């Protein structure tokens, strides 16, 4: 038995030429329908597997896209991946997935692999510490790259992200409207565009709304439930703790609810908490979490479209597009408690 049959095996078993078999398998009208069927039957019988590497080498086309994200453990990226997959499927493109885990070295290794394996281009949410030079190097090689969720400025690469500053501002306005005047910030401890912009939204809102600008109210940490738990503890230990809390991400906000619960503090009454991203878990958190919903589907689709048109050679200049998020009010926010003595 032939281990891995190739076109020539099908051809010889049928008394056809290799070219005829090649065309038949791809439904060329040059081959009579009856012959095509026969070829396909024989291929199936022999257990033929198309060697796409060989075909792509010959044709000079590619059909894989590399996707590199920074933190698989954050559900928001699982959402992004699902949307990217959906968008890619319509273009018959496959996805080569990678998780950098915020490790620039791992990310660099993947970038190399992605190129060596002939991916057509790269969709990347850059790990913290990714430099313009890292990206410029790829671009110089003519390798199409588009960023999503996080942006890298000033290097001529397209980026599609949420309006992070605006999202936090909206969250702050919401709390301000509920009477909160001392509002804490947790998270965004990494040097990424997302962290910078969300914090900028916080600072801007503090100034614009006349809130307490106490720098102690800002606690920087990474994005995980545990970090949210710890950071919120620090905030509540303050001599004069905040009544409202905006978190860099939902994971942090969920961690924050744990801290409150342990201390017998009622979320939505004693303290109001707003998350960011709108992951599924928000609806079954306790209480269900008020959050800033990021339009992951629209961002994913726009990034895929940009990358594909770049790959196709219709490369207009780099574009940066920000998508407006939507505040979703659930039960983790409520009127500020009356001031205490």
Partner DNA sequence: CTGAAAGCGCTTACAG
Which residues in this chain contact a copy of itself in the complex, by CB under 8 A? 3-4, 47, 49-54, 56-57, 64, 72-73, 75, 78, 81-82, 94-99, 101, 113, 115-118, 140-142, 224-226, 229, 255, 258, 261-262, 280-281, 283-286
114 makes contact with DNA (CB under 7 A): no
**Which of DNA, a copy of itself, none interacts with 229 (beta carbon under 5 to 8 A by kind)?**
a copy of itself
Q: Quick one: which of 42, 20, 40 has its CA closest to 31?
A: 20
CB atoms within 10 A of CB 2: 11
Which of positions 14-73 make contact with DNA (CB under 7 A)?
15-20, 22-23, 25-26, 30-32, 35, 48-51, 54-55, 57-60
Work out how close the CB of 53 gets to a copy of itself at its nearest, in angstroms, rounded to a whole number: 5
- In angstroms, rounded to a whole number, what is the distance separating the alpha carbons of residues 316 and 166? 27
**What's the distance, CA 287 to chain centroid?**
26
Which does residue 20 bind out of a copy of itself, DNA, none, counting CB within 5 to 8 angstroms by kind? Answer: DNA
Round to whole Å and give the CA distance between 145 and 233. Answer: 41
Q: Are 58 and 25 in contact (CB under 8 A)?
A: no
Q: How far is the CB of 181 from a copy of itself (least distance, A)?
A: 29
DSSP 52-102: HHHHHHHHT---EEEEEES-TTSHHHHHHHHHHHHHHHTTT-EEEEEE-TT
Distance, first Cα to last Cα, the chain: 87
**How many degrees, rounded to 5, is the angle at CA 35 between CA 31 and CA 40?**
105
Cβ distance to DNA smaller for residue 54 or 105: 54
Q: Which residues, other chains included, contact 231 with Cβ-Cβ below 8 Å and sequence gap of 6+?
A: 186, 187, 219, 221, 252, 255, 256
**Considering CB under 7 A, how many residues would be counted as binding DNA?**
28
Closer residue to a copy of itself (CB): 2 or 208:
2
233 binds, among a copy of itself, DNA, none (CB under 5 to 8 A by kind): none
| Residue whose CB is less far from DNA, 17 or 320 | 17
By the rule CB under 7 A, 208 interacts with DNA: no
Residues that bind DNA (CB under 7 A): 4, 6-8, 15-20, 22-23, 25-26, 30-32, 35, 48-51, 54-55, 57-60
């Amino acid at each position: 038995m032939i281990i891995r049959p190739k076109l020539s095996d099908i051809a010889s078993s049928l008394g056809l030429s290799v070219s005829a078999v090649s065309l038949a398998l791809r439904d060329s009208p040059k081959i009579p329908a009856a012959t095509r069927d026969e070829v396909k039957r024989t291929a199936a019988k022999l257990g033929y597997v198309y060697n796409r590497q060989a075909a792509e080498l010959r044709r000079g086309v590619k059909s894989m896209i590399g996707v590199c994200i920074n933190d698989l453990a954050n559900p928001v990226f699982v959402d992004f991946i699902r949307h990217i997959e959906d968008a890619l499927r319509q273009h018959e493109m496959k996805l080569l997935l990678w998780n950098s885990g915020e490790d620039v070295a791992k990310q660099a290794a993947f970038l190399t692999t992605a190129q060596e394996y002939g991916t057509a281009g790269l969709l990347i949410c850059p790990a913290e510490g990714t430099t313009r030079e890292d990206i410029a190097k790829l671009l110089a090689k003519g390798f199409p790259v588009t960023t999503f969720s996080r942006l890298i400025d000033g290097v001529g690469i397209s980026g599609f992200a949420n309006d992070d500053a605006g999202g936090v501002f909206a969250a702050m306005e919401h709390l301000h409207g509920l009477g909160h005047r001392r509002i804490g910030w947790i998270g965004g401890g990494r040097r990424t565009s997302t962290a910078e912009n969300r914090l900028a939204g916080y600072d801007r809102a503090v100034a614009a709304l006349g809130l307490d600008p106490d720098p102690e109210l800002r606690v920087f940490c990474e994005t995980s439930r545990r970090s949210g738990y710890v950071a919120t503890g620090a905030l509540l230990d303050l001599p004069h703790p905040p009544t409202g809390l905006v978190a860099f991400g939902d994971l942090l906000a969920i961690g924050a609810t744990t801290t409150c619960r342990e201390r017998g503090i009622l979320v939505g009454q004693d303290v109001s908490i707003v998350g960011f991203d709108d992951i599924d878990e928000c609806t079954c958190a306790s209480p269900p979490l008020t959050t800033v919903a990021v339009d992951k589907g629209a961002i994913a689709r726009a990034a895929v479209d940009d990358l594909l048109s770049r790959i196709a050679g219709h490369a207009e200049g780099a574009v940066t597009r920000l998508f407006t998020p939507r505040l979703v009010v659930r039960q983790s926010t409520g009127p500020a408690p009356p001031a205490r003595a």
